[in-house]
Structure 1
Amino acid sequence: MSTSNIDMTTDRLTFARALYDAVPLYDPKRAPVDLDLTDNTNLWGLPPHAERALREIPVARITRYPSLYAAELKEALASFVGAKPEYLVTGCGSDDILDSAMRAFGDPGSVVASSEPSFAMIPIFAQMNGLTYVGVPERPDHQPDLDALLAAKPRILYLCTPNNPTGALLTQETLERAVREAPGVVFIDEAYAEFSGVSAVELAMRVDNLLVIRTMSKAFGLAGLRVGYGIGAPALVRDVEKSRGPYKVNAMAEQVALTALREDMAWVHAHVALAVENRERLAAALRDRGYAPLTSHANYVCVPVAQAIAVGQALRARGVAARPFAGLPHVGDTLRISVGPWEMLERFLVAFDDATANVYKGVTS
């Protein structure tokens, strides 16, 4: 004999946590297309030595558990960012670091404040962890409204630099004030730092309330292997490590990431430079068409485009995808276009010209 644990009036499990009722599954609603410029990953592919390591990984690395807390990877990452290994924590992508850090430092109901627009998962992670999310629209100069953010008295203050989706870089003055005046911990998301050449890592080694979060998904081309890391004071990253638990970087990901850091840095630097060059070339091509792309310090271009949702749909109908955003503060509708090899961007521009011509004539396909 079985009994139902489903509340038929709400279609939910009777023993489920109520706070999860409002938590959506992440669904970007992106059907596959021939040319996808939505993810800001490395469109040049995998670094060559990392690819070799992926193909040649010993079976024994897969049949056994990975290292507890990725000590060897921490050493390589510390060398890369100019820190000490004890200032590092690793995880299954930067998402894992963010989620674990919210659990580590947020008591139920405490405030997570974020400038908007920014990384869409922040309010979701806050909900998942029983925290209160406060979003504050950025200023017209695309800097965070720090007065309003600090007025929320956040236990966790989240800022992204270069910011996603605008590509704006946080000023040093804003960063230092945030760390100085925040009542709790400051998270600085540097997923795109390699493309800006600017980082808060040095500051994170001097204070005890700053966690810099980074990833190997973008410049290193390892998005599918999910390797993220954070840099902060040893006491701070220890608590994040307690929250995330052991074995969170799988053995294959650790081996490939180590190889990339040790043998592929020339490739990574060369393709970062190519991304920056093509970013500026794409922005110039858009300006030539009468558009005003935002200044970007990342590997994408965010450009105001009227009826961006319709334009995005028309692009998809032509086998090309860019990420549309509706009604960004002080900007309006925009498209965010990942940067890759120029032949990809040339194809985007051809599709973009055709899509906008049709949308603005009232035809979407």
Structure 2
Amino acid sequence: MPFLRKHLQSIAGYTPGEQPPPGSSVIKLNTNENPYPPSPEVFRVLQTLDPEWLRRYPDPTTVALRQAVGEVLNVHPDWIAVGNGSDELIGLVVRAFVEPGETAIYPMPSYVYYRAVAQVQEAQPVEIAYDEAFNFPLKEILDAQGAVTFVASPNSPLGNVVSINNLETLAANLQGLLVVDEAYVDFTSTNALHLVQKYRNVIVLRTLSKGYSLAGLRLGFAIAHPALIRDLNKIKDSYAVDAIAALVGAAAIRDQPYKNSNVRKVLRSRAILHRDLAALGFRVWPSEGNFLLVQPPREIAAIALQQQLKARGILVRHFDVAGVADKLRITVGTDEQNAQLCQRLQELM
């Protein structure tokens, strides 16, 4: 007899990207990590860590980290909630603001974790399809009127941004919450942060996983009206962010010159990789993230190509999702890694 709650027994759950063992020689281009190390300020914090920070419980309000975020983004700390990655904050949003049976809306293809979180909460996930040209389905999302609407911008795996005009139209006309997931915001020039000040139903999510090279740390934050932040804090774990993560995160986010330097390197590499993949016959979509969505030449199946690359020590991501099942998402690595990818692809093709 299964002990799992009945409504969870038929849920597949979210499947993260493959993680090779530490020390592996695999070229990992499947989960959109930053190819460059974190800020040197991060290592200075670790080298001077006071053991007392390990003995004691961490600050449950993460005030020092919220102050650092506020300084960089010009936001009062009362407008900021910190979580164990932005994934935790996505879960908190659904738990706090979506009743069982209510709908969580999001366009697809997008981050399929939204679906898993909604199902666990017994909410109804409603996926609004992009058209074949990947145009944002604004009218359909407005018509759906969910308790919460998730919009990833830039969107993975598509790489596109949602225009500020479309986001503001949603904020002004949705009866429920609008959550703008800006995990890849460091790689684009637009963001929705100002909408938080204008609309009380908007939450912007950020992470230190991508631009700050801290995916292993699990640290993200939400920016919203203080009333929404207080509601999120009611249900969060008292000590969701550990003391080391808070110290390291504050050091990393304050080192904007280092982060911006790495971002510029990624953007240059992205342009070169786009050019080289197109020269190999791939269709490559424009991207505002640290990855590219590509379609192999017609006679080559995307899933087969992914497996062939894996056998040769290179991981890329395939999604069995309508609209992108014939495509691959490739993280932008270092120029050397990208060159090895293209060399293997040329050999295979």
Q: With structure 2 as the length reference, what TM-score do the two structures score? A: 0.94
Tell me the secondary structure at the aligned position of residue 159 of structure 1. strand
Amino acid in structure 2 at the alignment position of 1:297: E
1:224 is aligned, of 199, 216, 224, to: 216
Matched with 1:91 is 83
Matched with 1:146 is 138
Q: What percentage of aligned pairs have identical amino acids?
A: 29
2:283 is aligned, of 283, 292, 297, to: 292
Amino acid in structure 2 at the alignment position of 1:267: Y
> For the residues of structure 1 that align with 2:259 and 2:307, how far apart are their CA atoms?
33
Cα 1:28/1:89, change in 2 over 3 Å: closer
CA apart distance, 1:54: 2.3
> For the residues of structure 1 that align with 2:184 and 2:277, how far apart are their CA atoms?
22
Cα 1:73/1:103, change in 2 over 3 Å: same
Matched with 2:170 is 178
Amino acid in structure 2 at the alignment position of 1:55: Q
Larger radius of gyration: 1
> For the residues of structure 1 that align with 2:137 and 2:37, how far apart are their CA atoms?
37
Structure 1 position 338 matched with structure 2 position 321:
no
CA apart distance, 1:29: 6.4
Matched with 1:136 is 128
Tell me the secondary structure at the aligned position of residue 145 of structure 2. coil
Amino acid in structure 2 at the alignment position of 1:278: S
> For the residues of structure 2 that align with 1:109 and 1:67, how far apart are their CA atoms?
35
Write out aligned runs for 1:230-241 (5 A). 230-241=222-233
Is contact 1:308–1:326 with CA below 8 Å preserved after alignment? no
Structure 1 position 248 matched with structure 2 position 240:
yes
Structure 1 position 323 matched with structure 2 position 327:
no
> For the residues of structure 1 that align with 2:211 and 2:202, how far apart are their CA atoms?
23
CA apart distance, 1:144: 2.5
Amino acid in structure 1 at the alignment position of 2:56: R
Amino acid in structure 1 at the alignment position of 2:336: E
What are structure 2's unaligned runs of at least 5 residues?
Answer: none
Structure 1 position 259 matched with structure 2 position 247:
no
Tell me the secondary structure at the aligned position of residue 303 of structure 1. strand
Deviations 1:246-298 (A, max 9, x none): 21111110011111123x32111100111111111110111222222111001
Matched with 1:75 is 67
Q: With structure 1 as the length reference, what TM-score do the two structures score? A: 0.90
How many residues are aligned here?
342
CA apart distance, 1:328: 4.2
CA apart distance, 1:212: 0.5
Tell me the secondary structure at the aligned position of residue 316 of structure 2. strand
Deviations 1:325-346 (A, max 9, x none): 34642x6511111112101110
What are structure 1's unaligned runs of at least 5 residues?
Answer: 1-6, 358-365
